[in-house]
Amino acid sequence: MPHIDLPEGYPGIRSLFMFSPETAKPLNDLVQTLLHDPTTSTLTPGERELIATYTSSLNHCKYCASTHGAIAKYQLGGNEALVKDVISDPSKAPVSPKLRALLIIAAQVQEDGKKVKTEDVANARQQGATDKEIHDTVLIAAAFCMYNRYVDGLATWAPDDPGIYDAIGKQRASEGYLTKPFKV
Amino acid sequence: MPYIPLKESLPGITGLLDYRQDTALPIRQLTQILLRGASTLTEGERELIATVVSYGNECAFCSAAHTAAANILLGDTVISEQVKLHPDSAPVSDKMKALLTIARAVQKSGKLVTPAMVESAKRQGATDMELHDTVLIAALFSLYNRYVDGLASVTPAEPAFYERLGHILKEKGYMPSPDRYAGL
């Protein structure tokens, strides 16, 4: 049961957006720019969603990991196996060496920003990552340490039905983050 | 030295928010709403939440900056040190003590917030909105701390720097403006 009185029929962060529309606006604007808008980063929306999914999975945030896993799947042309591979072990997942190096950085940020070392950044650069891509990776991982804590810190509802996450994933992959959530 | 090229005149978070301004804007808007918007918690109380989370994450830049802002807003330098070092005996209200306990749990993981912690805060008069804001402020600083440390931004050693920044945070809040850091 959630720690505060939240509207029923909306899972996870969606219930918090309904509870506090004022803070919902910048929280959604941030993911729209950081994850969805294809023009704001040289990482694809699919790659960015994989970083968000992996960070959420490391934080054991079921709602965020399932939701962004589903969004990533739709952004990657339905490749659910790739999403599962990244979650279980990015070092063995069939992603580019650059994304693999960036996922290592994301995992360090998830633990503590100070865990990111010069050699990890050098390795990402060697695999072709730009300054901006390194920046975006750190900020996506940091942002999901916020979203995950917001969702779990207030004990929001994380549905068990995979169909709910799939429907949310489909909606967000096609519409972005600025449209209204639907009632479950 | 930062992992990406940041302006030398803008240390810590200030250079990062300048580096990518399209993501900085919603982050700043969220901070302004949470720390300076209408609330039944004072601005000083909300800065204390930011301070204990940054201190828990050992983010030297954020911890010093928000300690300075809290001290200026509270007109006192003892309270912020006490909430960091001896939270149980710190000279703050029982409601604040309970909210700071929740903030410290969120700093580690959202899942560590227990129903007993929430009950205790409610018994001391905390409202659902105060609980919501406490969790989201703690989550937001989990983002900031990782952003600042994950890209190895510069942490000035000079205490007077944080005093100057603290005054900017009190007088100008968190929204961007062209001359925002002129006095830094």
**Rounded average pLDDT per 10-residue block, chain A, 184 residues:** 97 98 98 98 98 98 98 98 98 97 98 98 98 98 98 98 98 98 95
Report the alpha-carbon angle A46-A51-A56, nearest 5.
120
Interface touch B142/A112, C-beta < 8 Å: no
For chain B, the farthest-separated pair of C-alpha atoms sits apart, in whole angstroms, at 49
Residue A86: inside a domain, yes or no? yes
B123 touches chain A (CB under 8 A): no
Residue A61: inside a domain, yes or no? yes
In whole angstroms, what is the distance from residue B3 CA to residue B13 CA?
13
Encode pLDDT of B22-48 as tens digits.
Answer: 999 999 999 999 999 999 999 999 999
Interface confidence (ipTM) of the complex: 0.98
In whole angstroms, what is the distance from residue A139 CA to residue B146 CA?
8
Encode pLDDT of B59-108 as tens digits.
Answer: 999 999 999 999 999 999 999 999 999 998 999 999 999 999 999 999 99
Residue A181: inside a domain, yes or no? no
B38 touches chain A (CB under 8 A): no
Residue of A nearest to B26 (CA): A26
Q: How many other CB atoms are found less than 10 A from the CB of residue A161?
A: 10
pLDDT recorded at residue A111: 98
In whole angstroms, what is the distance from residue A63 CA to residue A67 CA?
6
Residue A4: inside a domain, yes or no? no
pLDDT recorded at residue B69: 98
pLDDT recorded at residue B43: 98
Closest chain A C-alpha to B14 CA, distance in angstroms? 14
CATH code: domain of residue A107 = 1.20.1290.10
Judge contact between A135 and B151, C-beta under 8 A. Answer: yes
B89's tokens: 């005996």
Interface touch A138/B147, C-beta < 8 Å: yes
pLDDT recorded at residue A183: 95
B25 touches chain A (CB under 8 A): yes
Q: Measured between CB atoms, which of A131, A134, A149 is closest to B142?
A: A149
Interface touch B110/A61, C-beta < 8 Å: yes
Q: Measured between CB atoms, which of A34, A141, A152 is closest to B110?
A: A152
Q: Measured between CB atoms, which of B33, B111, B136 is closest to A60?
A: B111
Residue A44: inside a domain, yes or no? yes
Residue A179: inside a domain, yes or no? no
A chain contacts of residue B106, beta-carbon cutoff 8 Å: 149, 153
- Taken in order of first residue, the domains within chain B and their CATH numbers are 12-172 (1.20.1290.10)
Interface touch A146/B143, C-beta < 8 Å: yes
Closest chain B C-alpha to A4 CA, distance in angstroms? 5
Residue A69: inside a domain, yes or no? yes
pLDDT recorded at residue B3: 98
Spatial CB neighbours of A183, under 8 Å, sequence gap ≥ 6: A9, A10
Select from A80, A130, A70, A120 the least CA-distant residue to A100.
A120
> pLDDT band for position B12 (50/70/90)?
very high
Q: Number of folded domains in chain A?
A: 1
pLDDT recorded at residue B114: 98
- pTM of the full predicted structure? 0.98
Q: How far is CA A106 from the centre of its chain?
A: 11
In whole angstroms, what is the distance from residue A128 CA to residue A26 CA?
31
Domain coverage including residue A152: 12-174
B chain contacts of residue A154, beta-carbon cutoff 8 Å: 110, 113, 131-132, 135
pLDDT recorded at residue A28: 98
B113 touches chain A (CB under 8 A): yes
Encode pLDDT of B94-151 as tens digits.
Answer: 999 999 999 999 999 999 999 999 999 999 999 999 999 999 999 999 999 999 999 9
> pLDDT band for position B56 (50/70/90)?
very high
Q: Measured between CB atoms, which of B23, B34, B115 is closest to A3?
A: B115
Residue A184: inside a domain, yes or no? no
